[in-house]
Amino acid sequence: MKGKLYLFGIGGTGSRVLRSLVMLAASGVKIEADAIVPIVIDPDFANADLTRTLELIKTCSAIRKELSFNDKTSNTFFAMPFEQMVNDNRLSLQDTKNKKFREFIEYSTLSRENMALASMLFSENNLEADMEVGFKGNPNIGSVVLNQFTTSQDFVDFASAFKPGDRIFIISSIFGGTGASGFPLLLKNLRGLSADMPNYASIQEAPIGAITVLPYFDVKPKDEGAIDSSTFIGKTKAALQYYEKNVNGDKSSVNVLYYVADNRANQYDNNEGGTEQQNNAHMVELISALSIVDFVSIPDDDPILSCTEDENFRVYAPNAKFREFGIEDDVKEVLFSNLSQTTRDILCVPMTQFVLFSKYIKEHLRGAISQPWAVDNGITDAFLKSSFANNIKKFTEAYLTWLEEMADNDRGFKPYKLAVKGSDLYSIVDGVKPDSIKALWAFNKSGYDLFDAALNDKQSSLSKNYSLSQKFTELFCIVSKLLVDKKFKF
């Protein structure tokens, strides 16, 4: 793919999947795009899942700003740029703060007949719903409120920036309120964009991919709570029937649609939104992020990315494809060996590199500045206190936390034994026996001593023209790749 990927993340699921994508991108997973432009659509601006993800993108971007990438650099850490096109990567929604749905539709000003109609379509609880924390599992509310997509200045800015060759991807869940309503509405607006909108033809005919996340968790029962997970399956069935005709029917509007789900043994706290809504990472969100990696890998000339118009001038994708994800074995603890070889080829090396890098930063870096690799390259205590080093520490800590969260689920993604230390460091990949390294610099060394020996051996290959930040990141990427290639057979 040659161009940018405009990535719309709708609702809490959109933010959680985006979090996993940032982790994959930072670790060096190959993503075939010039840049990723995240645009989050969520009326719940205080949602902790959202704010955590946006902070992660800021940290990643701050790190990348101090690095350079060209044909001569070997570094793949933080190589993918995340561009900010709208304020704080969030598309503005009007009239949702401190407002009930009744007030949004100006119920009190409706005629008697329209009041009766509104009362048929929306329950009293719907009308009294506070929209500041989202639509709480009510897509009928979301479909009304989110129909303002194309009237915002943020959407106009998106349209103005869009170029031929760019692609669009939409992340949403199907069993809630914001995502279930937002996905088909956004798709409809993109394919039917008004001719007075900038670059409307390029957007109408752009390749569009989407992941619709089916139920993969429950929420704990809560008296008088607005979210009831016993309704998830019913809502999913209803949404799928609608999608069949309007999203993925005979004349589909989406080029590639991905489906993912899991058992619902995991129960999250029943928080309707705001600062309390922060769920632990789940393997389903990692898989959803992989659908984005897959979408951008599709060649530009593949027929499934083509679009055309029907007799009613509706833009659609005549060769649309629908994809699901499965693991090799139905196990509770998913290792790399339980994934297909195609998935292992994408994940194993870059993720393991970044795990070793992250553990070194957390457990060993402070005591290693007397090593030749550090002394010769000016990596001093002052450097470790710099904003760049602090951002590296912040991001790598978040990466390890993300892995720990995914491991701690009923079906945990648990390819790493993250607690290993010392001489056992290279037994970190569960189910993979580490090989020995037959090199003079590696003789009789293990754990972080082996890591330091490799850093000392390879540091002379760095360009003297590199900045400290560039030297640091480049060296760790080179050495972690060396150690992974020599130690592990995936």
Residue-range domain boundaries for the chain: 4-96+134-325, 337-487
Average pLDDT, the chain: 87
Q: Indicate if the alpha-carbon torsion angle 202, 205, 207, 209 is positive or negative.
A: positive
Q: Write the DSSP assignment of 328-382 as a string of letters.
A: SS--SEE-GGGS-HHHHHHHHHHHHHHHHHHHHHHHTGGGGTTSHHHHHTT--HH
Measured between alpha carbons, how far is 187 from 254 in angstroms, rounded to an integer? 8
> What's the confidence (pLDDT) of residue 393?
98
Measured CA distances, 65 to 74, 79, 388, 399 (Å): 17, 10, 10, 19
Task: Tell me the residue type at 91.
Answer: L
Question: At 316, is the secondary structure helix, strand, or coil?
Answer: strand
Q: Compute and round to an integer the Cα radius of gyration of the chain.
A: 24
What is the structure's pLDDT at 273? 47
Nearest to 154 by CA among 42, 231, 17: 42
pLDDT of residue 286: 97
Task: Give the closest residue to 383 by CA, choosing from 366, 399, 398.
Answer: 366
> Which helix (DSSP H) or strand (DSSP E) does residue 293 occupy?
helix 283-297
The DSSP element (H or E) to which 313 belongs, if any, is none
Pairing of strands 412-413, 333-334: parallel
State how far the alpha carbon of 347 is from the alpha carbons of 66, 337, 352, in Å. 26, 12, 8
Pair 335, 414: CB distance under 8 Å: yes
State how far the Cα of 313 lies from the Cα of 481, in Å rounded to an integer.
51
Q: Give this prediction's pTM.
A: 0.89
Per-residue pLDDT of the chain (490 residues), as tens digits, is 889 999 999 888 999 999 999 999 999 999 999 999 999 988 776 778 899 999 999 999 999 999 999 888 889 999 999 999 888 888 876 655 666 767 666 767 878 777 777 677 676 776 766 655 555 555 556 556 566 667 788 889 999 999 999 999 999 988 765 767 788 888 888 998 889 999 999 999 999 999 999 888 665 555 555 455 566 677 777 778 777 877 876 677 899 999 998 876 656 554 454 455 678 999 999 999 999 999 999 999 999 999 998 877 788 899 999 999 988 888 999 999 999 999 999 999 999 999 999 999 999 999 999 999 999 998 999 999 999 999 999 999 999 999 999 999 888 999 999 999 889 999 999 999 999 999 999 999 999 999 999 999 999 888 888 999 999 999 999 999 999 999 999 9
State phi, psi for 115 to the nearest 5 degrees.
Answer: -60, -45
Sequence-distant contacts of 105-114: CB under 8 A, at least 24 apart: 105/144
In 165-245 the beta strands, taken as DSSP E runs, fall at 167-173, 208-213, 218-219
CATH number of 4-96+134-325: 3.40.50.1440
Alpha carbon distance 371, 380 (integer Å): 10
Q: Is 237 exposed, middle or buried (0-12, 13-18, 19+ CB in 10 A)?
A: exposed
User: What are the backbone dihedrals phi and psi of residue 33, each rounded to the nearest 5 degrees, phi first?
Assistant: -150, 150
**Cβ burial 309-318 (10 Å sphere, 16+ → b, else e):** eeeeeebbbe
CB atoms within 10 A of CB 117: 12
In 2-159, at which residue ranges do the beta strands (DSSP E only) sit? 4-10, 35-41
H or E element: which one contains 79?
none
As beta bridge partners, residue 209 has 169, 256
Residue 128's SS3 state is coil
Q: DSSP string spanning 225-258? A: -S--GGGHHHHHHHHHHHHHHHTSSTT-S-SEEE
pLDDT number for residue 270: 45
Q: Rounded to whole angstroms, how far apart are CA atoms 169 and 158? A: 14
Q: What is the DSSP letter of 161?
A: H
Structure token pair of residue 442:
């590696």
> Would residue 112 be called left, alpha or beta, if left means φ above 0 and alpha means ψ between -120 and 50 degrees?
alpha
Show the tokens assigned to 354: 């970044």
Helix 447-458 to helix 341-363 angle (10° resolution) is: 90
